[in-house]
Amino acid sequence: MIGLNANTALASLMSQEKQYVGFATLPNQVHRKSVKKGFDFTLMVAGESGMGKSTLVNSLFLTDLYKDRKLLNAEERINQTVEIIKHTVDIEEKGVKLKLTIVDTPGFGDAVNNNECWKPITDYIDQQFEQYFRDESGLNRKNIQDNRVHCCLYFIPPFGHGLRPVDVEFMKALHEKVNIIPLIAKADCLTPNEIKKLKDRVREEIDKFGIKVYQFPECDSDEDEEFKQLDKELKECTPFAVIGSNTVVEARGQRVRGRLYPWGIVEGISEEHVDPLAHSAVHSGDDQVGQPDGESHPHPASVHSRCGH
Ligand SMILES: Nc1nc2c(ncn2[C@@H]2O[C@H](COP(=O)(O)OP(=O)(O)OP(=O)(O)O)[C@@H](O)[C@H]2O)c(=O)[nH]1
């Protein structure tokens, strides 16, 4: 009887499977295969030293990607050339694997003479394209490691009146090779009005100099109105004003990632809502300032991090 039941179940399963054999199952197959294999994502961060690059990356991915970082003093910086340093972590979320590589560019924009300081960076990007092209033209195409730089977060200092010559030159040198997302660093140093002015200025200059920054894809027409509105607002926020923080503070009874100042707290995101990849410390500039009703604690990266090695 048991055998009969098992056979019947198997037959029914097979007939169900049979119904779905056809090209209609292709998206599912591709989806399953991609999820199983995981994704490679390479994110480059560039901007002068101290702009909060490592803090933002750590807060975006809730991990400490810069454990071994050695901070240089002013004398050492004078002779420092631009370097390319890669940090890699494996992240898994809801069964989807992501191999995240952060390409850091220490030394960029820090020298007395910054002439062509983006050259090692463009060379690196070109090398990755060439390597990928070689691998694709080779015999073993199954396990190609994609090291191409998919996106570059470019940190614009909050202290100036717009883009500096080095910012313009950097973005122009890279815009045909990589998706550039310009960010206004350390936005908590500016008032909402100042942020707005700086954003307008940066947008104007991006247009004026013909810089092609990353354009977010068009929203599907069948999305609901609320989503469309959110998408529109998000696109209008570019260049994003960002605030990084690796500390957890308590504000209005909630644990949030934020920056505790003598005058208040600049809030990030509530710890209850933390979802490493969905969470971003990217703000539109309307950061709330609460009352300091909690202590600052070091961010327990090991607790929240879902990263492997
Ligand atoms: N006010 C403010 N300070 C920040 C922010 N993000 C980082 N910082 C602080 O700025 C300093 C430098 O931050 P890092 O993240 O080390 O800067 P970096 O760009 O990675 O520096 P390099 O590794 O030298 O290139 C630290 O003291 C941070 O705590 C921010 O959003 N606002």
Each domain of the chain, given as residue ranges in start order, spans 1-37, 38-304
pLDDT for residue 132: 92
38-304: what fold?
Rossmann fold (3.40.50)
Token look-up 């008032």 returns 191
Q: Could you read off the pLDDT of 218-272 as tens digits, one per residue?
A: 777 777 888 888 888 888 888 999 988 888 888 778 888 888 888 888 876 544 4
Of 18-22, 160-164, 292-296, which has the strongest mean pLDDT?
Answer: 160-164
Q: Alpha-carbon distance 260 to 173, whole Å?
A: 38
What is the SS3 assignment for 159?
coil
The residues with which 39 forms a beta bridge, in sequence order, are 98
Tokens of 98: 């992501």
Q: Which of 55, 63, 183, 299 to mutate to test the pocket of ligand 1 (most atoms within 8 A of CB)?
A: 55
Question: Which of 78-82, 215-219, 249-253, 271-275 has the least mean pLDDT?
Answer: 271-275
- H-helix or E-strand spanning residue 134: helix 119-137
pLDDT at 2: 43
Residue in the structure block whose two tokens are 């929240």? 304
Q: For residue 49, list its beta bridge partners.
A: none
**Protein residue with least CA distance to atom 6, ligand 1:** 52
Q: Please check the confidence at residue 287 and state whether its pLDDT lies above 70.
A: no
Position of tokens 């009874």? Answer: 253
pTM: 0.76
Which residue's structure tokens are 């492997």? 308
Q: Which residues contact 82 (CB under 8 A, 6 or more apart)?
A: 105, 106, 107, 108, 117, 118, 119, 120, 121
SS3 101: strand
Q: Ligand 1 in contact with 188 (CB < 6 A)? A: yes
Paired residues of 182 in beta bridges:
154
Band (81; pLDDT cuts 50, 70, 90): low
Residue 256 sits at φ, ψ, to 5 deg, of -130, 155
How many A from CA of 241 to the centre of ligand 1? 14
Tokens of 200: 């307008």
Q: Indicate the range of 27-31, 78-82, 160-164, 245-249 predicted with least confidence.
A: 78-82
Bridge partners for 247 per DSSP = 298
For residue 97, pLDDT over 80 is answered with yes
**Other C-beta atoms within 10 Å of 169: how many?**
17
CA 110 – CA 80 distance, rounded (Å): 8
Is the distance from the beta carbon of residue 238 to the nearest atom of ligand 1 less than 6 Å? Answer: no
**How does residue 210 score in pLDDT terms, banded at 50, 70 and 90?**
very high
The alpha carbon of 91 and the centre of ligand 1 are apart by a number of angstroms equal to: 24
Q: Does 268 sit in the ligand 1 pocket, CB within 6 Å?
A: no
Q: Which helix (H) or strand (E) holds 194?
A: helix 192-208
Averaged pLDDT for residues 34-47: 86
Question: Which backbone phi and psi does 174 adopt, to 5 degrees?
Answer: -105, -15
Minimum mean pLDDT among 108-122, 139-153, 195-209, 228-242: which range? 108-122
Q: What is the pLDDT of residue 105?
A: 87
- Locate the ligand 1 atom nearest the alpha carbon of residue 189 and give its number: 1
Give residue 27's pLDDT: 78
* Mean pLDDT calculated for residue range 171-187: 94
* Cα angle for residues 200, 204, 205 (degrees, 5° grid): 120
* ∠ CA 36-220-100, rounded to 5°: 35
Higher-pLDDT residue of 110 and 86 is: 86
Structure tokens at 198: 């700086």
Answer for the pair 135, 141: CB distance below 8 angstroms, yes or no.
Answer: yes
Q: What is the mean pLDDT of residues 205-228?
A: 86
Quote the pLDDT of residue 239: 92
Q: Which residues contact 170 (CB under 8 A, 6 or more apart)?
A: 46, 108, 109, 118, 121, 154
More confident residue, 251 or 50: 50
Selected residue with higher pLDDT from 236 and 2: 236
